[in-house]
Structure 1
Amino acid sequence: MDCMQQTTHNISGTDHGHCHLKLVNFKVHDNHTSHETQGLSEKQLVVRRGKPFKLSLLFCGRLWNPHTERLVLEVWLGSLSERIPVQFGNKWSDLQHWSATIYPDDCASKSVTVHICSPVLSSVAVYNLLVHIETKYNRKSYAVGSFVLLCNPWLKDDPVYMPLDAQIQEYIKSDYGLVFMGTNLNVRSRPWSYGQYEPGVLEACLRLLQVSPQHLSDKDKDYIRRADPVYLSRVVCAMVNCNDDLGILEGKWQGSYKDGVKPTDWSSSADILHHWVSSNYSPVRYGQCWVFASVLCTVMRVLGIPSRVVTVFNAAHDGNANQKIEEFYSSTGEKLNLSKDSIWNFHVWVECWMRRLDLGAEFDGWQIVDPTPQEKSAGIFCCGPCPVGAVQQRCLGVPYDTPFLYASVDADIVQLIVRDGLVVGRRMDTESVGQLIYTKSIGSDSPENLTSTYKRRHQVVQYREQPHAMLLHSSNMQSYTVTLEGAEVSSPEGMSPGLEVSLSINGVPTVGESISMSVTVTNQSSNPRVLMEYLNAQLKEYNSDPQKSFWKTHREVHIQPHEVLTLKHTIPPSDYESVMADDDIVNLAVVIKDVRTEERVLDTKDFNISSPQITIEIEGGDSIQMKKEHTVQVSFTNNFTKTLSGAVLTVEGSGLLKGKQEVRLPLLQPGKKIEKRMSIMATSPGTKVLMATFSHSNSPTVISRSLHKVSVVAA
């Protein structure tokens, strides 16, 4: 950065007739300890705004005379600068302006210690520092280096202030997190290494601000606005995806990932940030929601804004902003790809902690920031910050993007059974969306349930059409019109009420075992009935409609008046193993049809299958010393009933291993084990993640993935 308008001199001096500045000691160790920035950078001084930091000035030539020579510091940010006259005394000026103070006991003969304090609302950036020695007759100026200024969650006057040390430890200092995935019936956790102490990560986060469209179009305006965490979060959110700018990640949700990295193969933000910088800011391929969110969480923690990764199970993507998601099913229970809206089994975003000075105290606290590119906000692909409180209170006019985020956690699902272009059944589900909202608990790997912070369930009925998830039969249903392939159709009349159906999965399905389910049918009428039961299972990605059915069954059922029938079904492993992989989800639907009245009722469940386990063991335990070799054993046992061909066990770990370690076996018999021993060595302290995957040629992709947390302590 070209920060000098006047002549500068190198810090050296041989003229003993004058006072010269010889050396500036930035007191990096002391300042980093005092400012809670240890480990963020080995190259630069990193300090937090609104808190004094110190540096020592060493003079040569004659002694510095404070009576005739005035010391003035100057900080530069782009073309913006501020002069800071050095004062003597024991009192700090207010936190609204820069100040520099020398205490009387810090005045040694040839060196002085200057305490510098930035305003509490300083901009997050790299600042250049000058020192001027001024007399009546001349001025000597020295460019002495630069320092990084970050937000200060320890300081009460900072908008990102967080009162509890345990919160700051978890949401700022911790470099390790968990992402919750799967379905609300079978939640999985996935370790993630945020990696803010990995070499180069701080520098990458600062470069991200420098290559943003806001900075490139108007540097000074961007620098001024960077004091505001609301502005910072919008800039960073847009820069995590590459849709509008030189952003970090390119999203991809289907097709081949061969020209990049499959999203499920990432486990570290540091790897992604290093890729981005080393490719001269070309987008890293590929990300999905939890990857975007985890990288955003890293950048925000580095900048000093408390952040956590949050998972919404059954998140609605409401493209037309009507707070309703339409889903279409065939009369035999197959889900049809006819809706522009969708329900994601899980969606991951970030909550950032800040006061909303633009909105008022009622909207302070956690703010949703979602970097996954779904819909544009003010013309760019970013979302938030939106106060969680605005979602809970349904204040849809509050910026930013509240209607979209409210729908994500509280939209209604309208499920329509369609036959020959006609809607022959309708069910309103007001409970499933946002059914579970999780984040990692403070200081533990268990989930913290945030659902009540987003949803006031006792108030929901006020603005809902239907308070319960149920079929709306034609006798109490208005004609429902829908456009399918250009034809307007409406529901048939004359169906008698009195049928209910519910579908449940028994236990937690595990790869290699049969999937067991129950269908409960209730006949509320006074007549016996002849029914047809249709069951249909389809494979799906977590964020999209299902693919072709891989299992279906139907049968005739007789039910007596007021009888409750429970019908049992199983899907054997042979029917799903060839199509299902580690991250897949099953969409299961049942349609019960009254043969005489043609009344149809529907229930659906999405579920995921638990993978077989990979064992990871570190000799001597999971806490290891930095820069010391440790042995790891990784193994997988074939618990299937069949021989697996082309078995591959792969291990990798950012900050622990260079590259991937792999072992292959042409055949792995039932009950036999594949294993790999290797050495790991950590290059930096903190929490790292070892990731092991197992695949074989009988399966289309990885069938098991295991992640193992490793704590690294300095030697």
Structure 2
Amino acid sequence: MEGFRIQNVNVELLDNHDKHRTEGFSSSKVLVVRRGAAFRVSLQLTGRPLNTDTDSVMIRILLGRLYVTIPVTTSEKAPSCQWRAYFNPEDLNSNNPSVFICSPASAPVGSYKFKLRVLTQSGKKIYACGTFILLCNPWCPEDAVYIPFEDQREEYVLNDSGLLFMGTAKNLVSRPWSFDQFEPGVLEACLNLLQVSPQHIRSKRGDYLKRNNPVYISRVVSAMINCEDDRGVLKGNWTGDFKDGVHPSKWTGSGDILTQWAQSHFRPVKYGQCWVFAAVMCTVLRVLGIPCRVVTNFNSAHDTNGNLVIEEYYSETGKKLSLSKDSIWNFHVWVECWMNRQDLGSGMGGWQVSDPTPQERSRGVFCCGPASVKAIRDQRIDLKFDVPFVYAEVNADVHSVIVKDGQMLSYSKDTERVGCLICTKAVGFPRLQNITGDYKKIRSPNPSISSRSSTASDDSTSSRGSSKGVLVFLTLDKAPIAGPPIGFTVKVINRQPVAKVMKINLNAQAKEYNNSPSETFWENQGIIQLAPREAKVLHHKILQTQYEDVVGDDLVNLAVVLEDQASHEQFLTSEEFNILSPQLTIQIEDEDSVEIHKEQTSSVTFTNVFSHPVSGLLTVAGAGLIRGKVHFRMLQLAPGDKVEQRITFIPTMVGARMLQASLTLTHINSSIRGFRMVSVMRA
């Protein structure tokens, strides 16, 4: 019988990528498929066609030194828990037969090789090789990361842009972020992250075998995003000194960070803070096929001693003091990843908190999670991983203390501030989705609380007032924005039938989201005389020239302390708020007819709302719209003036794409941002 040989193996990139929803990775020129689903390989034969009666075809699948050998059958039927391969019966007798290879839905994630061996009656062995990358499969019901709704798979796996929510719960900042999972080099960097992990270095075999489990993968990734214990991606820095690296607020996407890390032979990138850590982790998990989203917890507690209480200290003049190891971050950003949790029993699957920001060690390593959100809500602090720590972040009480010369003058308790809003980006839309109820059993509203606008210590002020006869309220007139004065109102109520003379101290301090406030930048004092059962309303303003250095990423701690001149009793209320920066405005010409591979024009506009001239560097980027980034130098712009920059771009990917711009101002520690969603159609 005439011999034959395999001349070529075609891994059918376009067809397989389309069927496996991995077409975004096409630029890597490597076959990328998802586990639990078959992919097609075409064989080009020379000589005679294949004869399945006399010829035997075997495939060896290799992951590192692990391998499995499987026969290629003529039947598609085989146990789904095993590797299997079968011929396409329609072209079996041709010189170009197709072989379908299917992994189990629990196969390890990684970069594989495969070899074909053909045995004929003449005894000859013919080998051919190929490679493929295997990812988790949220479209496969048997996969542990299966998520049942297509719009959620589109959002939490395929969407390469999103919004990170920052600022305060009452004055949200929506920061655009490009996850960049389909940008050149990102896929390879994410696979390298697994290869250089301590788990892989210690035992390649053990690591490969455990990569079938998304719980294990998420813990490895959480630890590898920070560099505290390994060759991780990012170095954290909260000191304020970033001169030997990049200020965390300057990053606009994950791609630059991951490719810089990989190209430097895995030296940590400087610098990251919580939202950068979380956004990069979201990119890695989406690349690996694990559905995930970035979540913000407003007023996030860091409870160092595990007593579910955060202590805050103030001076008698309203200055917040750094006397506690505990802290409350105005916001903290982490990741939720979706998976079942057979290790925890029934009912604990779904969203899991994974936090790569290095705060506390988990089993000896700086990582956190995956902690079941359902376990957090149900107070199952006996369950792994790190449920007690995350539970405290969203549920701790706040004790506010006024001190003088080491002595406590006043004490109050707030049970509402921590975890007041937990949110993420909505599915399919650039807006907020409130998920607080997923973490906390919302208490029924107290009418005396719901009517107030201050979140710091109004509840505690009310309790003091009921016993001591004085109520004090602090209310911002409106959400502060850069430019106009910041107006606020202090309302003092004397509930007793005797007149009172009250000393009032007002104090405003700049603060970073994760630290105690710095020095006072605005203050005011005075005396109030209250008739029996009288209420007085005091109006105050902080002018632009007084707060201008706080615009952007910094916040303000505003406190009011009242002292009864007769009894020397102290009353405290406070509010922490951010001042919204001006926005960049982005317009797209012919917005309804943007087509792939066709040049488009857009414009970015900025108006200077500051009281002094500004200059800076404008950067425009957009995954699937612009290759890399484009930069424009903005010359000095006078107060009130407007500048417009025109930009051309050529889309390379269809679907909803994000065009984002950031303006880094000279001599001002803030960036002005803007974004526009662009719908790119096929030509």
Q: TM-score, normalised by structure 2?
A: 0.93
Q: Whole-Å Cα distance in 1 between the matches of residues 492 and 318 of structure 2?
A: 16
| Structure 1 counterpart of 2:53, from 57, 67, 71 | 67
CA deviation vs aligned residue, 1:71-96 (integer Å, no higher than 9, x gap)? 1111011111111011122x421211
Task: Give, in angstroms, the shift of residue 354 of structure 1.
Answer: 0.5
Post-superposition offset of 1:713: 4.6
Distance change (3 Å), C-alpha of 1:568 and 1:514: same
- Aligned mate of 2:331, from 341, 346, 350: 346
Q: Which residue of 2 aligns with 1:704?
A: 672
Cα distance in structure 2, aligned partners of 1:685 and 1:236: 29
Answer yes or no: is the 8 Å Cα contact 2:13–2:26 preserved in 1. Answer: no
CA offsets per residue over residues 408-460 of structure 1, 9 Å max, x none? 11101111100111010011111000000111111111211001110003499
Question: CA separation in 1, counterparts of 2:419 and 2:243?
Answer: 33
Q: Secondary structure at the match of 1:41?
A: helix
AA aligned to 1:672 is: D
Paired residues of 1:649 and 1:675 also in contact (CA < 8 A): no
Counterpart check, 1:56 vs 2:42: yes
Do the aligned partners of residues 713 and 33 (structure 1) sit closer, same or farther apart at CA in structure 2, a change above 3 Å counting? same
Give the Cα separation in 2 of the matches to 1:474 and 1:619. Answer: 59
Inter-partner Cα distance in structure 1 for 2:256 and 2:402: 46
Question: CA–CA distance in 1 between the matches of 2:545 and 2:458?
Answer: 37
- My pick for the range that moved more, 385-394 or 561-570, is 561-570
Structure 1 gaps of 5+ residues are 1-15, 462-466, 477-495
Could you tell me whether the CA contact under 8 Å between 1:41 and 1:202 is conserved in 2?
Answer: no
CA shift digits 1:183-231 (9 cap, x unpaired): 0110111111111121222111111111111111100100000000000
Q: Deviations for 1:17-63, whole angstroms, at most 9, x for unmatched residues?
A: 53322111212222111111112233111111111122122222343
Counterpart amino acid of residue 515 in structure 2:
S
Choose from 187, 208, 216 the match for 1:231. 216
1:553 counterpart SS class: strand
1:650 aligns with 2:621: no
CA displacement, residues 302-321 of structure 1 (integer Å, 9 cap, x when unaligned)? 11111111111101111221
Matched residue, 1:620: 590
Aligned with residue 482 of structure 2, among 511, 531, 535:
511
| 1:384-533 correspondence runs (5 A) | 384-458=369-443, 469-471=459-461, 497-533=468-504
Residue by residue, what CA displacement relative to the aligned partner does 1:340-367 show, whole Å, maximum 9, x if unpaired? Answer: 1111111111110100010112101000
Where does residue 82 of structure 1 map in the other structure? 68
| CA distance in 2: counterparts of 1:139 and 1:373, whole angstroms | 57
Deviations 1:148-187 (A, max 9, x none): 1111111111111111111111111111111111001101
Q: Does 1:553 align with 2:553?
A: no
2:11–2:40 CA contact under 8 A, matched in 1: yes
Contact 1:59 1:111 in 2 (8 A): yes
- Of 205-214 and 250-259, the range deviating more from structure 2: 250-259
2:599 to 629, 635, 638: 629
* In 2, Cα distance between equivalents of 1:605 and 1:169: 39
Deviation at 1:336, TM superposition (A): 0.4
For 2:77 and 2:246, locate their aligned partners in 1 and report how far apart those are by CA, in whole Å.
Answer: 52
Rate the CA distance shift 1:681–1:260 in 2: closer, same or farther, 3 A: farther
Distance 1:207 1:658, change over 3 A: closer
The Cα shift of 1:397 comes to 1.1
* Contact 1:193–1:689 (8 Å) recurs in 2: no
**Letter in structure 1 aligned against 2:212:** A
1:214 aligns with 2:183: no
SS of 1:363 mapped into structure 2 = coil
Deviations 1:532-576 (A, max 9, x none): 111100001111110000001111111223333222111111212
Matches within 5 A, 1:523-602: 523-577=494-548, 579-602=549-572
Matched with 2:450 is none
Q: Is the 8 A contact 2:17 2:26 kept in 1?
A: no
Corresponding position of 2:647 = 678
Distance change >3 Å, CA 713–CA 197, structure 1 → 2: farther
Q: Distance in 1 between matches of 2:374 and 2:629?
A: 44
What is the deviation of 1:671?
Answer: 3.0
Q: Take 1:475 and 1:188, find their aligned partners in 2: how far apart are those partners?
A: 34
The one-letter amino acid of 2:57's match is L
| Cα separation, partners in 2 of 1:307 and 1:653, compared to 1, 3 Å | same
CA contact (8 A) 2:465 2:471 kept: no
Displacement after TM superposition at 1:626 (Å): 4.1
Please report the TM-score for the alignment, with normalisation by the length of structure 1: 0.89
State how many pairs are aligned: 669
* Identity %, equivalent residues: 46
Alignment partners' CA distance in 2, 1:262 and 1:703: 11
Q: Is the 8 A contact 1:636 1:674 kept in 2?
A: yes
Please say which of residues 317-326 and 649-658 is displaced more in the overlay.
649-658
Q: Displacement, 1:111? A: 3.0
**Aligned equivalents of 2:100, 2:201: Cα separation in 1:** 33
Q: Please, which of 129, 132, 147 is the counterpart of residue 147 of structure 1? A: 132
Q: Provide the residue aligned with 1:334 in structure 2.
A: 319
Secondary structure of the 2:59 match is strand
Structure 2 residue aligned with 1:292, among 277, 286, 292?
A: 277
Alpha-carbon distance between aligned partners in 2 of 1:190 and 1:137, rounded to the nearest angstrom: 67
User: Higher mean Cα deviation, 248-257 or 183-192?
Assistant: 248-257
* Structure 1 residues 296 and 19: CA distance shift in structure 2, 3 A: same
Name whichever of 110-119 and 434-443 sits farther off: 110-119
The more displaced of 74-83 and 18-27 is 18-27
Amino acid across the alignment from 2:127: Y
The one-letter amino acid paired with 2:71 is P
Which digits, 9 at most, give the CA deviation of each residue in 1:498-546, with x for residues without a partner?
2222211110112121111111222222322111111100001111110
Looking at structure 1, the residues matched to 117 and 671 of structure 2 have their Cα atoms a distance apart, in angstroms, of: 65
Aligned to 1:611: 581
Moved more, 537-546 or 510-519: 510-519
User: What is the deviation of 1:682?
Assistant: 4.1
